[in-house]
Amino acid sequence: MEDQNIIAKISQLAAQEQQLEEAHVGEGLSEEDHAELHRIEATLDRLWDLLRQRRALRDAGRSPDAAAERGESTVEEYLQ
């Protein structure tokens, strides 16, 4: 996946996340909406990780195509 495709997908998911949150302002999310929000957030984290990998590889003079999307458990366990 090329950087521009990753960025486009991130933008699309961020818009979905915002829509979901704004649609329920003041009333809270249903269990289904919470699950959808979690899915969106996890996918966003994985895509951001992939984009960072690609940029780091490129900066190191290597092919960004060597980057691989990591699983949710790996990305979600990163320490901030």
71 within some domain: no
Mean pLDDT of the chain: 90
77 within some domain: no
17 within some domain: yes
13 within some domain: yes
42 within some domain: yes
25-49 tens-digit pLDDT: 778 888 899 999 999 999 999 999 9
Full residue range of the structural domain in which residue 46 is found: 3-63
**pLDDT average, residue stretch 44-58:** 96
52 within some domain: yes
What's the number of domains the chain is made of?
A: 1
CB 41 within 8 A of CB 4: no
79 within some domain: no
75 within some domain: no
Structure pTM? Answer: 0.85
